[in-house]
Structure 1
Amino acid sequence: MMNISFEFFPAKTEEGAQKLRATRELLSERQPEFFSVTFGAGGTTQDGTLSTVLEIKSAGEEAAPHLSCVGSSKDNVLALLNQYKEHGIKRIVALRGDLPSGMLETGSFRYASELVEFIRKETGDHFFIEVAAYPETHPQAKSPAADVDAFVHKVNCGANSAITQYFFNADSFLYFRDQVQSRISIPLIPGIMPITNFSQLARFSDACGAEIPRWMRNRLQHFGDDRESIRSFGLEVISNLCEQLIKEGAPGLHFYTMNTAQPTLAILDRIGY
């Protein structure tokens, strides 16, 4: 059975926390390999990330906190790593992250590769380290070739697995995989974004550099406020994408759940997971 995993973000209210708890309980029935929990720009959700991860772990699931290095000092990162070690957390998603609005200094780390290297130096093999990959090229990369080289370097600094930014064109993932598979030996897991809200999706995609193909954008725009049609179309498109990726040998799927269970569950039902 192929591995699946789910991403959450820390809830900001008690109502949100209750909703997230219910979402996690529903998704747990699909026996995920782990749940990851995001870490706000410059560590702005640090406490929420920790408490969410500990709640997931206390429920008997494996939890992987995101750790963003931009805006963080080595002392702060080491303190967090030690905290996670003390609580028995074994998996980390190591990312560069974005600078919070108004912050000009990057902190002790410029790139995620430096963070991966630091984690390995300070904690040895304690953590299974996930890193990010960008099939459509990181929006700040100098060139696609430079981005591939940077990814390979990051992996060689000590990563165990990579999760991609979400995408809607399977060829972008397959071409990227072909470029790196002779240079790395770790799993490359496609990131999957369910489609439920076009304006939200367009905003996220513009920010992270994920392309919404023109034919998809046209249909989603045409649906306007017809949420049911958007959900139905999104379910069909993303299920087809997942089936194609599985057929092409993807070792797993990582779902960006947006703290909601049903869109992801509908996809899993459609593809037989």
Structure 2
Amino acid sequence: MEFYISKKNFLEVINFKKIINIKIKFVTITYNNFKLNKKIINYFLKKNKNIIPHIICKNNVKNFNYLINMYYINNVKNIMIIKGDEKISNFYYCYNFLNIIKNNYNNIFNIYLGVYTEFHQNNLKNIYDFKNNIIKKNLFFKSVFISQYIYDFNSYCYFYDDLNKIKKNISIVPGIMPINCLKKIISFSNICKSNIPVWLIKKLLNNFFKKKNFNKINIEINCNIIYKMKKFKINFIHFYTMNNAKIINNIFNFLINNFNF
């Protein structure tokens, strides 16, 4: 489950368990302000909760070393490395950072890697890049892949099959993101080349001005994807909450009532 920390939602994130009554394996924290992130990271660590802060590859090496050292000093054992969406950076791909961690912090961190099940606009050699620079050279024993959000489950299946041809039993946790703003999700999906099925867009557009129907369809769409994941024997799901913990709870209530979860 992922949250973006700001001064406005700090207390809400701390108290999210009062809203969500499902079992949470870990919480990921989108990188923002380090002092603000550090505050909530330390809070969860004191509560013995698994917390995974992001490190974005658009940072330069100096900033990366500072962050990784601060996480090490603060006893953070899990970190998630994501590429980010900038076209130009000093360290373009996440495997550049994996090299630093492997050389200087080997066996200290559990590494979670953000991946796209489809092709990212800045990395049209998606599978090739994984095969040659991550899986063969830099994959840690304790590495786990977490995917970007999925609305077309076939894309996850194809990606999973491709990776398993390279290396068996790779762990890929699929991402789920409720659609709070259709315009934003279409825009972001165009940037990331993530597929949104045409039927899904049409169904939401037809109910765009009927908030109650829109929310219901939004929940149904995500529940159908989760149901397919369960049939695919996927044990864990990563929720991008968009800081809306209530809708995650509504999704699971719908699953319990309609899919016998």
TM-score normalised over the length of structure 1: 0.85
Q: 1:34-64: per-residue Cα shift (whole Å, max 9, x none)?
A: 1001125xxxx33333223222222321100
Q: Note closer, same or farther for the CA distance 1:53–1:245 as it changes in structure 2 (3 Å cut).
A: same
In structure 2, what is the Cα distance between the partners aligned to 1:177 and 1:192? 16
In structure 2, what is the Cα distance between the partners aligned to 1:222 and 1:119? 48
Q: 1:155-197: per-residue Cα shift (whole Å, max 9, x none)?
A: 4413411011111111110011111113234301110111233
Q: Matched residues, percent identical?
A: 22
Correspondences of 1:59-70 after superposition (within 5 Å): 59-70=47-58
Q: Note closer, same or farther for the CA distance 1:87–1:25 as it changes in structure 2 (3 Å cut).
A: farther
Q: Note closer, same or farther for the CA distance 1:123–1:190 as it changes in structure 2 (3 Å cut).
A: same
In structure 2, what is the Cα distance between the partners aligned to 1:200 and 1:229? 19
Q: Which residue of 2 aligns with 1:246?
A: 230
CA contact (8 A) 1:195 1:230 kept: no
CA contact (8 A) 1:196 1:227 kept: no
Correspondences of 1:232-271 after superposition (within 5 Å): 232-271=216-255
- Give me the CA root mean square deviation: 2.0
Correspondences of 1:8-47 after superposition (within 5 Å): 8-11=3-6, 13=7, 15-27=8-20, 29-40=21-32, 45-47=33-35
CA contact (8 A) 1:90 1:126 kept: yes
CA contact (8 A) 1:7 1:36 kept: yes
In structure 2, what is the Cα distance between the partners aligned to 1:166 and 1:180? 18
TM-score normalised over the length of structure 2: 0.88
Shift of 1:258: 0.8
Which letter maps to 2:44?
I
Q: Is 1:50 matched up with 2:32? A: no
Q: Which residue of 1 aligns with 2:74?
A: 87
Q: Which residue of 2 aligns with 1:174?
A: 157
In structure 2, what is the Cα distance between the partners aligned to 1:36 and 1:209? 23
In structure 2, what is the Cα distance between the partners aligned to 1:228 and 1:257? 19
Shift of 1:66: 0.4
Report the number of matched residues.
Answer: 252
Shift of 1:24: 4.8
Q: Which moved more, 1:235-244 or 1:217-226?
A: 217-226
CA contact (8 A) 2:82 2:115 kept: no
CA contact (8 A) 2:2 2:28 kept: yes
Q: Which runs of 5+ in 2 are unaligned?
A: none
Secondary structure of 1:92 counterpart: strand
Q: Note closer, same or farther for the CA distance 1:87–1:26 as it changes in structure 2 (3 Å cut).
A: farther
In structure 1, what is the Cα distance between the partners aligned to 2:12 and 2:209? 24
In structure 2, what is the Cα distance between the partners aligned to 1:71 and 1:223? 40
Correspondences of 1:80-229 after superposition (within 5 Å): 80-99=67-86, 106-107=89-90, 109-142=91-124, 146-152=125-131, 153-156=133-136, 157-159=138-140, 160-184=143-167, 185-229=169-213
In structure 1, what is the Cα distance between the partners aligned to 2:135 and 2:34? 25
CA contact (8 A) 1:9 1:49 kept: no
Q: 1:80-99: per-residue Cα shift (whole Å, max 9, x none)?
A: 21211222211110122234
In structure 2, what is the Cα distance between the partners aligned to 1:175 and 1:120? 29
Q: Which runs of 5+ in 1 are unaligned?
A: 1-5
Q: 1:209-235: per-residue Cα shift (whole Å, max 9, x none)?
A: 222211111111111222211110011
